[in-house]
């Protein structure tokens, strides 16, 4: 289902600093973070549908995605993982892409999508839920934000807990360097669950409870489901981008980091 916390255009060193967990079945074929063949996209890749949940480009575009928790989904819907890829391959601004997406947003199951362009310092959030309501497009303001499986900055237990712990780390380091690799075990491996009275009551209570921690691990009839990768993406004002991923590979945790310079970032 995924959860992410990020600070946008509100830190003296980092225009963007993002931490994200990807929750999925452990047996779903997935490639770790790497440059995609034939294009300038860097990210992990779902080998079943071919899309991604978090990726960026050499030109300074970033996109990440979470599913919306809902009781019913459409089996014939388009793959939501295509949406970040389509944005990263396009030349449209985040707002232009989001506005064009409105026309076909109903063809996807519930999604939350963040689109960012470091060159123009713009970030947009778009969601196609709740059903029956106008598609939500909003410019993301500078500051700290949390994206779960509800709307941006929804006050879910795991979102509030992650925001608070993230804020504490930012305060600790002030205006200096932030050791993001150390933040993953501190913040993204958190297994504390919500009080059942604070669950959103969208689907089965037991399922919601099992998903209510930042780090998720659930045994199901289809196999183990839960957090199978944690990523940290940092962009510095000089254009240095670092994409670090801690990921599961055959039940073993491994790490990889890719660094590059965003082209012509001022």
- C-beta atoms surrounding 238 within 10 Å: 10
pLDDT for 132 equals 85
User: Beta strand 136-139 with 122-127: parallel, antiparallel or unpaired?
Assistant: antiparallel
**Per residue in 245-262, pLDDT tens?**
999 998 899 999 999 999
Q: How far apart are CA 238 and CA 1, in angstroms?
A: 33
DSSP letter for each residue of 68-88: PP-S---TTPBPTTHHHHHHH
Q: How far apart are CA 231 and CA 65, in angstroms?
A: 13
Cβ burial, residue 109 (10 Å; 0-12/13-18/19+) = middle
- Residue 7: asked if its preceding bond is cis (omega within 30°), the reply is no
User: Beta strand 223-235 with 240-249: parallel, antiparallel or unpaired?
Assistant: antiparallel
Query: pTM of the prediction?
Result: 0.96
Reduced to 3 states, what is the DSSP secondary structure of residue 221? coil
Structure tokens at 243: 């994409």
Q: Using N-to-C axis directions, what is the helix angle for 94-101 and 82-89, rounded to 10°?
A: 130
Contact partners, residue 38, CB within 8 Å, separation at least 6: none
pLDDT along the chain (266 residues), means of 10: 95 98 96 95 96 97 97 92 98 98 96 98 96 93 97 97 98 95 97 95 94 97 96 97 96 96 81
Domains of the chain, first to last: 3-261 (3.60.60.10)
The answer to whether 207 and 199 have CB atoms below 8 angstroms apart is: no
What letter would DSSP give residue 262?
P
- C-beta atoms surrounding 243 within 10 Å: 24
**Per residue in 70-116, pLDDT tens?**
988 988 999 999 999 999 999 999 999 999 999 999 999 999 999 99
Largest CA distance in the chain: 51
Long-range CB contact pairs, 218-221, < 8 A, 24+: 220/25
Q: How far apart are CA 4 and CA 198, in angstroms?
A: 20
Nearest to 216 by CA among 186, 188, 185, 250: 188
pLDDT for 162 equals 98
């Amino acid at each position: 289902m995924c959860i992410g916390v990020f600070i946008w255009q509100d830190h003296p060193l980092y225009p963007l600093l993002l931490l994200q967990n990807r929750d999925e079945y452990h047996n779903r074929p997935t490639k770790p973070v790497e440059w995609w063949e034939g294009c300038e996209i860097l990210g992990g890749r779902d080998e079943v549908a071919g899309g991604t949940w978090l990726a960026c480009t050499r030109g300074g575009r970033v996109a990440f995605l979470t599913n919306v928790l809902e009781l019913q989904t459409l089996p014939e819907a388009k793959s939501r993982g295509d949406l970040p890829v389509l944005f990263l391959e396009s030349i449209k601004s985040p707002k232009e892409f989001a506005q064009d997406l409105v026309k076909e947003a109903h063809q996807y199951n519930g999604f939350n999508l963040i689109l960012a362009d470091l060159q123009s310092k713009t970030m947009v959030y778009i969601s196609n839920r709740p059903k029956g309501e106008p598609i939500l497009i909003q410019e993301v303001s500078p500051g700290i934000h949390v994206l779960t499986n509800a709307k941006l900055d929804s006050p879910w237990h795991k979102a509030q807990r992650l925001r608070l712990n993230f804020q504490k780390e930012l305060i600790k380091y002030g205006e200096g360097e932030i050791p993001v690799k150390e933040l993953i075990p501190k913040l993204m491996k958190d297994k504390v669950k919500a009080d059942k009275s604070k669950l959103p009551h969208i689907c089965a209570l037991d399922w919601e409870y099992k998903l209510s921690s930042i780090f998720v691990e659930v045994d199901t009839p289809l196999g183990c489901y839960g957090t199978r990768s944690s990523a940290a993406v940092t962009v510095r004002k000089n254009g240095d981008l670092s994409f670090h991923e801690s990921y599961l590979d055959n039940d073993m945790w491994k790490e990889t980091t890719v660094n590059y310079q965003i082209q012509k970032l001022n």
